[in-house]
Amino acid sequence: MFKTIKSKLFLISVTVVFSFFATTLVSTALLIRKAHIDFIINDLLNDLNLFYQHRIEHSLAEKNIDGIRKIVLEEVEEHCVVDVIDTTGTVVMRSDGNMPETPISLKEKEFRISRKAYGYSVRPGLNGEESIYVVMPLAYGNQQIGFIRITTPLHSLKKILYRFFRLIAALFVAAMLISLVLNYLLSRSIYMPLLQMKQIAQEISSGKLDKTIEPSNGKDEIGTLVRVFNSMIEKLRIVKEERETIFSHIAHDLMTPITTIRGFMEILSDGKVNDSGEFKECLRIVEQESAYLETMIDKLRLLTRLDSLSMNYCFELLDIREAVVEAEQSLQLKIQAKNIAVHNRFDADVPHIRGDRYALKSVCINLLENAVKYSFENGTIIFSVTAQSGLVLVSIKDYGRGIASENHEKIFQRFIRINTDEHNIKGLGLGLGIVKEILTAHKARISVTSSLGEGAEFSISFLPAKPSVYKKFT
């Protein structure tokens, strides 16, 4: 019971309405009771004052009972009972004629005369019905000679409270109906999107990503949740498409070198190559294709670490020029194979930065490798490191094929390869995507300036290390 959101909302709305009306009923009933009692007391005091105007204490002092009875019967209202009591509690006269057989107790609450010169109590009295008792003292000269008490039942209060309870009951029913309507509308606005989420989540678990929740224009938490959920589905679609692209590219790009290696190894194992020059050429191709496989596997391993958030950067104080030089040394064979001249233009005084030496070396290798790939034979590459406007700037410029302006943003996406097939250039399209993620983690920015046929220049801007960092590492 009450396992669904709809039933819980219904329970909450009923509880709130019931609690509100119960609290209102009790507090208002008490206020009505008090106000009505105060009104009756004031009315009874007016009656007692009328008795005083007739000097009833004088008749009591002279034991003129007939005179007292005449005054009381003339002034008392039909529903009231008036008692004239002496100081011993003996009822000298009662307006209805039902004289008590024994003296009444002067310890009742109404005989505790307050500073207002009267006392009162509310208790069962006449015929067992709840009644109000109001007492005023009677004095003759400086001597108290008795009391006058007036009593009236509270049957009028019962009628008032009965009408009030009927009104509250009607309002409660109306409020419950309104609450049920609002509960339906509210539960529909909350429950339906959640129900759709549940159904779509079940489909997502089975691999279906073709549905989204109907968009909500609401600015509340449910509307935000719907938009976030739809955004998540869209990202899952992108991930799914990206994964399919990964498998497609990996299958294509790994199969080519593997096929090449296997073919040449079969040739070598069959002994079909007798010339030493051809034998060395076969080994060179096998070694080249193996190196390409190793490079791709390294990039896939690095990509996996980035995606799984297991890339633990080891930040230290370093000179970015050292990473550039190490990258050039790692790619020396590829640079020499195309007879490319690499020129370093380093400022003499470049501030140190905080970074991961291995990760930034990987960034430099990727950028330099791309520059070599897209450069022509006997081309030139310029690697520069300068300090400008409070930043450390690293740029690599080649004079190769270049990149069309509409592709400047695309090249930093994973598995995006621009015009690689027509130029017979291998690659998974991972390098620049990895570069962008590493630099983002280092709070550095990368941009590209290029046009087709005029080469490309990639520029990176680093924040220099703060003086406090220098002190820490020196």
Mind listing the pLDDT tens digit for each residue in 340-372? 999 999 998 899 999 988 888 888 988 998 899
Cα(152)–Cα(397) distance, integer angstroms: 108
pLDDT (mean) for 379-400? 92
According to the model, what pLDDT value does residue 120 have? 84
Cα(374)–Cα(339) distance, integer angstroms: 13
Bridge-based pairing of strands 119-124 and 130-140 is: antiparallel
The pLDDT of residue 392 is above 60:
yes
pLDDT bracket for residue 147 (50, 70, 90): confident
Residue with tokens 């009933």: 29
Of the candidates 135, 131, 133, the one whose C-alpha atom is nearest the C-alpha of residue 153 is 131
Of the candidates 343, 316, 315, 318, the one whose C-alpha atom is nearest the C-alpha of residue 328 is 343
According to the model, what pLDDT value does residue 134 have? 86
Q: Which helix (H) or strand (E) holds 299?
A: helix 276-307
Selected from 1.10.287.130, 3.40.50.1360, 3.40.50.10320, 2.40.30.10, the CATH number assigned to the domain covering 221-304 reads: 1.10.287.130
Tell me, which fold does domain 312-473 have in CATH?
A: Heat Shock Protein 90 (3.30.565)
Residue type, 329: Q
Of the candidates 401, 403, 427, the one whose C-alpha atom is nearest the C-alpha of residue 415 is 427
Which of 158 and 123 is assigned the larger pLDDT? 123
First vs last Cα of the chain: how many Å apart?
Answer: 68
Cα(431)–Cα(427) distance, integer angstroms: 9
Residue type, 10: F
Query: What are the residue ranges spanned by the domains of the chain?
Result: 5-159, 221-304, 312-473
Q: Which helix (H) or strand (E) holds 138?
A: strand 130-140
pLDDT bracket for residue 115 (50, 70, 90): low
Which of 310 and 363 is assigned the larger pLDDT? 363
Task: Please report, for residues 41, 136, 140, 385, the alpha-carbon distance to residue 116 in angstroms, rounded to integers and kept in the order given.
Answer: 12, 10, 19, 99
Instruction: Summarize pLDDT for 394-433 with one digit per residue, the tens.
Output: 999 999 888 888 877 777 776 565 654 444 455 555 678 7
Of the candidates 391, 395, 396, 418, the one whose C-alpha atom is nearest the C-alpha of residue 407 is 418
According to the model, what pLDDT value does residue 3 have? 54
Are 394 and 384 in contact, with CB atoms under 8 Å apart?
yes
What's the chain's Rg over C-alpha atoms?
A: 50
Rounded (10°) CA dihedral 428, 432, 438, 441: -120
Task: Please report, for residues 10, 60, 83, 92, the alpha-carbon distance to residue 97 in angstroms, rounded to integers and kept in the order given.
Answer: 61, 17, 10, 11
Cα(220)–Cα(222) distance, integer angstroms: 6
Range in 64-73, 87-96, 162-171, 385-394 the model is least confident about = 64-73
Range in 142-146, 200-204, 214-218, 230-234 the model is least confident about = 214-218
According to the model, what pLDDT value does residue 54 have? 60
Rounded (10°) CA dihedral 466, 467, 468, 471: 130
Are 461 and 391 in contact, with CB atoms under 8 Å apart?
yes
pLDDT (mean) for 307-328? 80
In the chain, the percentage of residues whose pLDDT exceeds 70 is 70
The pLDDT of residue 383 is above 70:
yes
- Mean pLDDT, the chain, rounded, equals 76
According to the model, what pLDDT value does residue 473 have? 42
pLDDT (mean) for 321-349? 89
SS3 state at 380: strand
Bridge-based pairing of strands 143-153 and 81-86 is: antiparallel
DSSP for 358-373, written as a single string: HHHHHHHHHHHHHHHH
The pLDDT of residue 380 is above 90:
yes
Q: How many CA atoms lie within 13 A of 377 on its CB side?
A: 1
pLDDT bracket for residue 339 (50, 70, 90): very high
Of the candidates 29, 27, 73, the one whose C-alpha atom is nearest the C-alpha of residue 50 is 73
The CATH number of the domain covering residues in 5-159: 3.30.450.20
Cα(19)–Cα(223) distance, integer angstroms: 30
CA 27 to chain centre: 37
Question: For residue 30, which phi and psi values (nearest 5 degrees)?
Answer: -65, -40
Are 17 and 179 in contact, with CB atoms under 8 Å apart?
yes
Task: Please report, for residues 2, 5, 135, 165, the alpha-carbon distance to residue 14 in angstroms, rounded to integers and kept in the order given.
Answer: 13, 14, 47, 19
According to the model, what pLDDT value does residue 300 have? 65
